[in-house]
């Protein structure tokens, strides 16, 4: 596990935290909605993308320079800030004060627009940025150049897939935002399809991605079959298989049957692999007279599910394949 301290005076700034893979929920937020912490308490992640001011537009930077920053198509402003910022749940950070003159926000909190807004109590060095406004994941980003890693407790072991499944560690605490990892997965499926039609296996995968893939990719012969595969689930006969990303390491589960693996957030994958129980009504007959059912109705949404368009484009803009003409056309058209 890690403990982070101030590079200026050595003061301890965090609790002991264990490293996890960067969460895919960074790809989008829900506008004008208060969000929970991006990370679970007791964990941290390293964001390899640059973050913070100065902000510049894609055309101002140019395609060549933008590619060096990991952006291959226009998508919002590009950051000229530091890479490898350290993401933490706000409750795991202490020994800091808010820099009030950098505490601007939209309406309900701080959105980090002015750069580092947390200073070390020991030496007043700016060490990180707190964000908690509506439409923002609650997170603290420590500036890597302003902090040092201090000795901490032993690292927690990497859990095997069987352990993750058995302990329920893949439960989706952010289920209200499941459209975001679905949009990320959709982008990876489109890239893996290579412009070919995709036939989605009936069931949860079709409910999640079927309509969107039908709108994005052509129909016709030569379709590639998309299904789910993974630990304790098996490998169906398919050309493309959605597989989970290990939440600690960020590694994809690898199939053995030759299908092309498509990465998916592990919690969303677990939801598809083990759908929530739905009450089953009697097929024949009925209930005795005077008896009324009090079971909850099956969880059917009012509207068809749609993966996040923002997360879809965010993900594509960071994949070199988006520069291919067929994929750039999809990117510009959207769905």
Q: Write the pLDDT tens digit of every residue in 161-217.
A: 999 988 888 877 788 999 999 999 999 999 999 999 999 999 999 999 999 999 999
CB neighbour list of residue 293: distance below 8 Å, 6 or more residues apart? 281, 287
For residues 109 and 185, membership in a common domain is answered with no
Dihedral sign from CA coordinates of 188, 312, 73, 20: negative
Q: What one-character-per-residue DSSP string does 202-270 give?
A: TTHHIIIIIHHHHHHS--SSSPEEEEE-BTTTB--S-SEEEEEEPTTT-PBP--SSSPEEEEEEHHHHH
The pLDDT value given to residue 171: 77
Give the predicted TM-score (pTM) of the model. 0.91
Other CB atoms within a 10 A radius of the CB of residue 62 amount to: 11
The pLDDT value given to residue 279: 46
Number of domains present in the structure of the chain: 2
In a domain, 290, yes or no: no
Residue 101 to residue 332: CA distance in whole angstroms: 38
Least confident of 108-112, 253-257, 291-295, 319-323: 291-295
For residues 235 and 322, membership in a common domain is answered with yes
In a domain, 209, yes or no: yes
Answer whether residue 324 shows pLDDT above 50: yes
Range of the domain at 108: 3-48+84-150
Q: What does pLDDT average to over the chain?
A: 92
In a domain, 193, yes or no: yes
Last residue of a domain, one of 150, 175, 203: 150
In a domain, 10, yes or no: yes
For residues 193 and 214, membership in a common domain is answered with yes
Last residue of a domain, one of 122, 150, 178: 150
Task: Say how many Å lie between the first and final Cα of the chain, rounded.
Answer: 42
Q: Write the pLDDT tens digit of every residue in 280-297.
A: 555 556 667 777 767 666
For residues 17 and 125, membership in a common domain is answered with yes
For residues 183 and 317, membership in a common domain is answered with yes
């Amino acid at each position: 596990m890690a403990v982070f301290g101030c590079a200026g005076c050595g003061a301890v700034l965090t609790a002991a935290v264990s490293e996890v893979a960067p969460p895919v929920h960074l790809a989008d937020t829900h506008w004008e909605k208060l969000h929970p912490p991006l990370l679970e308490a007791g964990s941290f992640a390293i964001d390899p993308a640059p973050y913070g001011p100065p902000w510049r537009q894609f055309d101002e930077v140019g395609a060549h320079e933008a590619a060096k920053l990991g952006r291959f198509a226009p998508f919002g402003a590009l950051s000229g800030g530091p890479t490898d910022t350290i993401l933490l749940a706000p409750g795991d950070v202490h020994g800091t004060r808010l820099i009030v003159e950098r505490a601007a926000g939209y309406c309900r909190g701080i959105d980090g627009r002015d750069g580092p807004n947390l200073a070390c109590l020991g030496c007043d060095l700016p060490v990180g940025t707190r964000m908690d406004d509506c439409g923002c994941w609650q997170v603290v980003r420590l500036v890597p150049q302003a902090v040092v890693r201090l000795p901490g407790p032993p690292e927690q072991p990497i859990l095997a897939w069987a352990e993750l499944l058995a302990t329920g560690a893949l439960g989706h605490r952010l289920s209200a935002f499941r459209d975001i990892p679905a949009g990320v997965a959709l982008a990876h499926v489109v890239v893996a399809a290579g412009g070919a039609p995709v036939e989605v296996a009936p069931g949860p995968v079709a409910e999640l991605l079927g309509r969107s893939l039908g709108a994005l990719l052509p129909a016709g012969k030569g379709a590639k079959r998309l299904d789910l595969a993974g630990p304790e689930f098996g490998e169906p006969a398919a050309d493309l298989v959605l597989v989970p990303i290990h939440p600690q390491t960020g590694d994809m589960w690898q199939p053995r049957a030759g299908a092309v693996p498509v990465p998916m957030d592990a919690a969303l994958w677990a939801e598809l692999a083990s759908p929530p129980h739905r009450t089953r009504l009697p097929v024949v007959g009925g209930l005795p007279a005077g008896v009324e059912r009090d079971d909850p109705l099956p969880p059917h949404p009012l509207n068809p599910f749609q993966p996040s368009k923002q997360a879809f484009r965010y993900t594509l803009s960071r994949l070199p394949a988006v520069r291919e003409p067929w994929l750039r056309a999809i990117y510009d058209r959207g769905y």
